[in-house]
Structures are given as C-alpha cells and as structure tokens.
Structure 1
Amino acid sequence: MLSAACGSSGNTPIPGGGGALASALPGTDDKLIQQAQEEGQLVLYGSPRDEAMKADADAFRAAYGINVSFTRIAGAPLTSRVDAEVNAGRVAVDVVFSPDVAALDRWAAGGALEPIPEVDYPTRERYYAVMQIVGQGIVYNTDLVSGGDVPKTWNDLLNPKFKDMVVIGDPSTSGAYSQNYFALLKDKRYGEDYFDKLKAQSPRVETLAIVNQSVAAGDAAIGFTSFPTDPNIIKSTAPTAPIEFAYLDVVSTANTYLATMANSPHPNAAKLFAAFMMSREGQTAHNGDDRATSPLGELDGTLPAPDPDVVSDVTVVEATKELSTVVDLFRRLY
C-alpha cells in the first residue's frame, strides 16, 4: 500500500508539541533548521502504518514548515527498494523506517547510511535508533471470555473450554509474524510439546486479518498471534466490537528503526527529522493513539510496554532464519 502526505512549507520554526520551540530540540541548531527549511521537503519510506507516518509528517511540518512525502512499503519489498536505489547510485529517499536490522547493518557497513544526530535517546546507535516497539500476544472476545477465564499464560489456552474456539495466524506470513511462535518453541516451559498439546484444541489456521475478524465476530473465543493495535483497528469501523488484547507469559517484541540515507536529496531535512523523531514530540506523534510503545516510556497516547520479565530474547532476525521450522511444524500439526 502506497501513500503520500505533504503540506505547505514555511521559513520560520513554529512552536512544537507541549509549547516548546522546536528549534530547542537536542541535536539541532539554527543553522541546521535553516538549511533544512531551504531544502523544503523530506522523502520517507517505511513499514509502519499509514496513520503513524502521516502523524509524523503532520507534526514535523507543524514544527518546521517542511513537507514530508511518505511511502508505506512493508517487509522485504522495502529492503529491495532501498537496495535498488543504493546500487543504482540514485538515492531518492532521505529517511527509512525499517525493522530489518541485518539490512541496516549492511547499509551502514557499505557507506549507505549517515550517522544520526547525537542525542540522549535510549536505543540510539551510530546509524539507527528504535522508533517503535510492538509486542505480540492474544486477542479475545469479551462476550465469550471474561474475568478469571481471560488467559494469563499460554498454557491457559489448553483449557478444554476453549476447544474448537481458538484461531491462530499462519506463520508463513513472515519471519516477523512468526516471532512469537519461535519464542515459544525456544522457551523451556513450552517447546514443540506445547504445540502438540494445542492440537487437541482443534485450532483453525488463518491469516492475521481473519484471526482478528473471527474473534470480533464471535466465531472464535481467542486468537493469536496478534498485536496491541489489532482491536483498535477493528473498533475504528465497529466501535462496540467485543475484542481486546492481552500479553501472556512469553512476549516477543518487534522494533522498527529510523535510519538516514547517505547521498540523499535532502540531507539536512533528514538530520532534523531524525532529531525530531527522537524527541518526546516526535515519539508522541509516531506512537500515540495507542499505535505502539515508545523507547522513551509511556507518553501521551502510547501503549504501555509489556512486563520485561516475560519478554523473550528471540529476535526478528532469528525468527526469519528459522521460519521454515515453524511453518513445517504448523503444516504437520494443523
């Protein structure tokens, strides 16, 4: 899905979020702001939802009067698009939001990335920083599951009362989507034996969209793997839908990173945008409206982080490498 947002440009910084002057942000100065405003625009590619990148574009334009054109490209096509531009020597993008750490490291090693501004930000590395954190868990139908019946552990899904009422997402969607399945496989409390036991519940395997729709419609009591934003997406068109999200006792988290490209058409706007996105203003814009968790902690409208004690150390990179293991397991069992 492709989308673009742009707005009028200006030459004077205007107040940013919270009433603080945007020009006072760490990692910026008047010279950088002036040069960025002379460039007048920024090109952004990313995998986050359109709503998040539109919020980023609107907030950045409100702070600095600089237009942002964004294109949403998810997964491998995003990496391929950037690779093609870098290899052709014609980089059209200034800033990338990507979950692909391996690609980011490869681009950095090859000189395709510029260092991001040096600011005090929890996840900042030399060439990239985490913009959003999204955990994986379950969705459940509140008409069918409530009170003490709401699962707290993955073992709770094995309760006989949930037989024929569980729907699970197809792991072949992507390595990122299968991350929590692989985390369960690696966890000593669960492992392959857990999936063998789950088979007794006669779960249906569906796409992620069908998982959430089935739970909201009452065709299933519980669905996984799902994301905290999934009920919000359902409720945006069906406000009274009986669907909620919960973290259980094994949670995998997927990070999306910001990086600025070398030899980009608007290098100063890119630096300014990166500094803005590592500020409270930028993080609130990006992760607000219950879209994701911010590395800066709980800001207005951002999602609370899962309990650190239940977060798995399994990464997207690991899960992607082992995707065939999970897919083969599902084909054998379900």
Structure 2
Amino acid sequence: MMRTSGLVRALAMAGTVSALSVCLAACGGGGSGADEGGGSGPATGGIKKVLAAAKKEGKVTWFIGSQKYTAEQQKKVGEAFEKEYGFPLEVTLNGRGAISAEFSKLVEESAAGVPPTIDLVNAGYSTLRVLRDSKNLTQTDWKDVGIPRDYVSADMPQAVYLFDQVRTPFYNTKLVSEADRPKTWDDLLDPKWKGKSVTATTPSIWSTISYSLGEERTRKLLRDLVQKQQMATLSTITAIPAAVSNGQYSIGIAAPIERNIARKEPLDYLQLDAKNVPIPNNVALLKDAPHPNAAAALVYFLSQTRAGQKVMFEVMGYSRGDVEGSASWDLYGEGRGTIPPYDWQVNDAVKLEEEFQKLLKQ
C-alpha cells in the first residue's frame, strides 16, 4: 500500500525539528581540542562568530560520494542557507567517486603534502575511521558551534550525526499485490520471486541487515538469494530504486526510496519480521579544510534547523530518525529500529562485509 512521504507530512507540521529547538542566542562554549585530529578548525565562541567568519569565506565544498548533483540542486542548498542566515553561501556537492576509494586518495594526498580542496566529508563510523586514524579530520568542538553533545559520538568526536543510511527492502506496488508481498525475510525465497529481486555489490547492506536478522540467518538468506533465487546485483545502491521502479525487478534490497515515493513512483517499503537497522551517517571537517567556518556553519544548518533538514531531504534524500515525522522516523522511530553500537559498526561489521562480499560474487 502506497504511503505518503514522511517528510512531506512533517513539512506540514508547525514548529522546529523535534528534540532540537535550536536558537542562535543560546549557543556558545569553550574552545576546540586537538586530540586525534589536526588542522585549524572553525572560530570559537559560538555559532554567531562561526557565521560571521563563514560570511567572509563565502563557499564550502562537501565530498558527497559518487552521487552527482546538478548546479541547480547545489544552488538550492545555498539559497536555503541564505534564507536562514541572510548571506549567500556557495555550496558545492562534490561527487568525485566511491567514498572508501576516495578517502584512501585523500590520505595519500595528505601524506604527500597536497592541500585539500574539500571541506566536509561524510560516511558511517567504520569508513570515517580511515580519515580519523590518519589524523585527517579536524578535532572540532561541535558544542561550541552550537550542536548538542547527543549528536556527537564520544568515540568519534570529530563527527556529527547528520542522517541515517536506509537499508530497508522495498517493492514495486504495481508488480506485487498487497496479498502477495513478502511478510518475512524467508518469504523472499518463495520460487515466485526467482529472478525478480535486486541488490547492490555493496556488502554493508547485508552486514547492516545481519545486526537485526542475525549473522547465521543472514548468511543463509544471502547465499540462497544469490544461488537459488538468482538475485541480481548492481554496482551502486542508488541504482536499485530505478531498477525496481521501472519494472525490471519487483523487489529491491535495500535503499532509500523516499524521494521516489514523493515523485509518486510505484514503490513502498517492506516491513518484514526483523527490526529495521539505521546506520548513522556522520559528517566531519577535513584537516586543513580551506573553508572551515563555512563548513561548520553548513553542518549546523543541516543538522540543527528545520530548513536544513528540509533542503537536505529535498536535494539529497537524507533524513534522520530522531526527527519526528521524517522519512527515517517512519522506519526507525519509536522502537521500530535498532541502532548498532559504535564498536559493532567499526569492528564486527567490517569483518562481516568481507564475508558477504564473497557471497555476493558467487
């Protein structure tokens, strides 16, 4: 059954982002630390000083992965920022390539003394750890910028929780009836779905699923989907929704589809017999970023204001499970999801991904 996009409903609600009630006058605090990081960070003394310095810098570049954004989309983020704060900010969403590979390049460039052209990076903890451990993230005092400690991990204080990585399966509502749609993960092994499901070659999809479903059950499920059900694999997660929406496949495992739903495409999420698992995606300031204040101001805007959450969803399709009424709230809020602890994300998940990668190639 098609549902209304969570964010579309949320945008009709009055008030600020739930649990965040942010006010510029309330922000202030101490200076920035230097533990496990490097490079000059944003101005200290609160968000007002950061905004003043950001106005002088005037631009920010955010490495966003392999997704490409049009000039119009990037301009929309800058315009939303200007409407909130009264001065223009040129926002570049840099889609230079796959995050893991590009992070390795950033480490190599830093070691060779090449100054960065990027200000912000984002990823899950396990991937961001590559930059943290090589001391390529700035140790920013995000509380001083105005971001509550609840959104900054004690295990990785360089990063701010920005949105959730959605890894929930979905289906084409024109090809799969309400009566026939899978109700459990094991239902995906019904012969009628043979050759009709698709995933990506990204093993983190399956490590994430395993946190709720269990490792052994996930191993067997993935093996059977590949070998018996002839599940197709695409090179990127972002390609899955289009392949299901256009009728090439009936079931997708697993990707965010909120923007597709908002465009009235025939897609909806499957609610199966295990809790959904959101993986927090975090944004951090690169060491020696050329525009540290503009970068910090953008992080504040996107993570702490209603306007920032709105434009982030509209342009990038990102939302956060703690924001009541958002797309991720529908999937993960109020106990509908279970979030893996930091240690699992940076240790267990990495080991499982190596195993699941091999299963996907069978």
| TM-score class normalised by the smaller sequence | 0.7 to 0.9
| Partner residue of 2:255 out of 201, 216, 226 | 226
Q: Does 1:164 align with 2:187?
A: no
d(CA) in 1 for partners of 2:346 and 2:256?
15
SS at match of 2:245: helix
- Shift of the 319–113 alpha-carbon distance from structure 1 to 2, 3 Å rule, reads same
Unaligned runs of 5+ in 2: 1-14, 29-45
- Shift of the 68–217 alpha-carbon distance from structure 1 to 2, 3 Å rule, reads closer
Q: Deviations over 1:64-98 (max 9, x none)?
A: 32222331233223313432443225132222223
SS at match of 1:149: coil
Equivalent position of 1:203 in the other structure: 230
Q: Deviations over 1:37-84 (max 9, x none)?
A: 122222222238537865543322333322223312332233134324
Equivalent position of 2:151 in the other structure: 123
Asked if structure 2 preserves the Cα contact closer than 8 Å seen for 1:133 and 1:294, the reply is yes
Equivalent position of 2:9 in the other structure: none
Number of equivalent positions: 306
d(CA) in 2 for partners of 1:257 and 1:103?
8
Q: Does 1:179 align with 2:229?
A: no
Equivalent position of 1:142 in the other structure: 173
Percent identical across equivalent pairs?
A: 18
Which letter maps to 2:92? S
Q: Does 1:243 align with 2:267?
A: yes
Equivalent position of 2:245 in the other structure: 216
d(CA) in 2 for partners of 1:304 and 1:291?
14
- Shift of the 25–53 alpha-carbon distance from structure 1 to 2, 3 Å rule, reads farther
Q: Deviations over 1:221-271 (max 9, x none)?
A: 323233334744xx85xx5x5332324234333332111233222222233
d(CA) in 2 for partners of 1:96 and 1:290?
15
- Shift of the 269–183 alpha-carbon distance from structure 1 to 2, 3 Å rule, reads same
Asked if structure 2 preserves the Cα contact closer than 8 Å seen for 1:185 and 1:192, the reply is no
Q: Deviations over 1:256-289 (max 9, x none)?
A: 2111233222222233223223212322321347
Which letter maps to 1:224? I
**What does 1:36-51 align with in structure 2 at a 5 Å threshold?**
36-47=54-65, 49=67, 50=69
d(CA) in 2 for partners of 1:204 and 1:111?
39
Moved more, 268-277 or 310-319: 310-319
d(CA) in 2 for partners of 1:43 and 1:290?
15
Q: Output the TM-score relative to the length of structure 1.
A: 0.73
Equivalent position of 2:351 in the other structure: 321
Q: Output the TM-score relative to the length of structure 2.
A: 0.68
d(CA) in 2 for partners of 1:95 and 1:199?
37
d(CA) in 1 for partners of 2:322 and 2:65?
20
Unaligned runs of 5+ in 1: 1-16
Asked if structure 2 preserves the Cα contact closer than 8 Å seen for 1:53 and 1:70, the reply is yes
Equivalent position of 1:3 in the other structure: none
SS at match of 2:110: helix
Equivalent position of 1:79 in the other structure: 103
Equivalent position of 1:8 in the other structure: none
Asked if structure 1 preserves the Cα contact closer than 8 Å seen for 2:171 and 2:250, the reply is yes
Moved more, 43-52 or 273-282: 43-52
Equivalent position of 1:67 in the other structure: 90
Following superposition, the deviation at residue 25 of structure 1 comes to: 7.0
Following superposition, the deviation at residue 163 of structure 1 comes to: 4.0
